[in-house]
Amino acid sequence: MFAAMESVTAFAPATVSNVACGFDVLGFALQAPGDEVTARLAPGGVVIDDIVGDQGRLPRDAAKNTAGVAAQALLTLLGETRGVVLTIRKGLPLSSGLGGSAASAVAAVVAVDGLFGAHTPLATLMACAFEGERIGAGSAHGDNIGPAVYGGFVLVRVPNPPDVVRLPVPAGLTAVVVHPDLEIETSRARALLGTTVPLADAIRQWANLGAFVDALHRSDFDLMARSLEDVIAEPRRAPLVPGLAQIKEAAAAAGALGCSLSGSGPSLFALCRDAASAAAVAAAMTAAVIRHIGGEPQTYVSPIAPVGARIVSTCSS
């Protein structure tokens, strides 16, 4: 049995998955926003005492909640008979395409690991978070969980048990993410994909992914721009986001290397050469989203976060 803190709070960042050419295998972490989970000792099992920022929409039953299931998976793996009480603070919009289910699951396992001082390997934390997201999101996605755990850019060769390839991040590379005033359920977006891919599309996607990974290694922004193309998921999901083509055009005209849906949408991301170009792209994308979708979009400009989930506060007993 591990010695335990009284409480530990962990933060896990928003993530962009797919990254255009890397459907279900490529993802990166933002510095902000993200979710926080506080874990406190309890006699046994997992209890969720409060969720802040979800407007009462997420289950308080730990067995049906992403964070609760992930925490229980880790407790079981550690052989812990003691339990935890979790408080979840949602900094990510629901159904946004920014990895909200993954962030809650990852923050939970990092907080519980810190609570018991277990020093669990990252791959094991990822596997436990994977079980949580499977419950919370209906299916689990390694390209959200991987960057939330490891930070940076990752390629998930196999999600569970995890085989994660950490990729280099070129100096200056900056992300823009715009979250429109829309929600898209992941299950609905995945249903649009079908179960088959034309061979020509598969070949083009593989070529783009290989070229993009090479571009990251060589800091080749021109190759990166040519590779940020999704011929599999984005064309099928485009009807869910009004004005998608026009928003992408606005991003390109402002200097983006490329722009596509973040995960299953409705959030859109763009990658930029530096912070200055990212500011111009952010303004152009936000204006285009307001023009074609309306509402009050949320816009984030962030370098690729070098680290993923982390403990942000502790309290000793």
Does residue 111 contact residue 8 with C-beta atoms inside 8 Å? yes
What's the confidence (pLDDT) of residue 2? 61
Q: Is the dihedral of CA 273, 209, 262, 199 positive or negative?
A: positive
Query: Each residue of 132-175: pLDDT tens digit?
Result: 987 755 666 799 999 999 999 999 999 888 999 999 999 999 99
> Nearest to residue 129, comparing CAs of 157, 151, 148, 153?
148
Q: Which two tokens stand for residue 307?
A: 């680290």
What per-residue confidence (pLDDT) applies to 3? 60
CATH class of 7-167+306-315: alpha beta
Q: Are 151 and 306 in contact (CB under 8 A)?
A: yes
Please, which residues bridge with residue 15 across strands?
Answer: 29
Q: Which two tokens stand for residue 83?
A: 């339990």
* Pairwise CA distance, residues 183 & 298, whole Å: 13
- The pLDDT of residue 195 is 85
**Residues composing the chain:** 317
- CA atoms within 13 Å, Cβ hemisphere of 62: 20
Fold designation for 174-303: Alpha-Beta Plaits (3.30.70)
Q: What is the pLDDT of residue 180?
A: 95
Give the pLDDT score at 139: 65
Q: Write down the pLDDT at residue 1.
A: 56
The pLDDT assigned to 265 comes to 85
Q: Which helix (H) or strand (E) holds 125?
A: helix 122-137
pTM score of the predicted model: 0.94
Provide the residue ranges of all domains of the chain, joining segments of one domain with +: 7-167+306-315, 174-303
Q: Where are the beta strands (DSSP E) in 26-131?
A: 26-42, 46-52, 83-89
The one-digit pLDDT tens for each residue of the chain (317 residues) are 566 678 999 999 999 999 999 999 999 999 999 999 999 999 889 999 999 999 889 999 999 999 999 999 999 999 999 999 999 999 998 888 899 999 999 999 999 999 999 999 999 999 999 999 877 556 667 999 999 999 999 999 998 889 999 999 999 999 999 999 888 777 777 777 878 999 999 999 999 999 999 999 999 999 999 999 999 999 999 889 999 999 999 999 999 999 999 998 899 999 999 999 999 999 999 999 999 999 999 999 999 999 999 999 998 76
Bridging pattern class, strands 268-272 and 7-17: unpaired
CA distance 316 to 117: 12
For position 138, what pLDDT does the model report?
Answer: 60
Which helix (DSSP H) or strand (DSSP E) does residue 10 occupy? Answer: strand 7-17
pLDDT digits (tens, 9 = 90+) for 57-77: 999 999 999 999 999 999 999
Query: Residues 6 or more apart from 294 whose CB is under 8 A from it?
Result: 181
Q: Are 284 and 292 in contact (CB under 8 A)?
A: no
| Cα(276)–Cα(278) distance, integer angstroms | 5
Q: Are 206 and 214 in contact (CB under 8 A)?
A: no
The whole-angstrom separation of Cα 104 and Cα 98 is 12
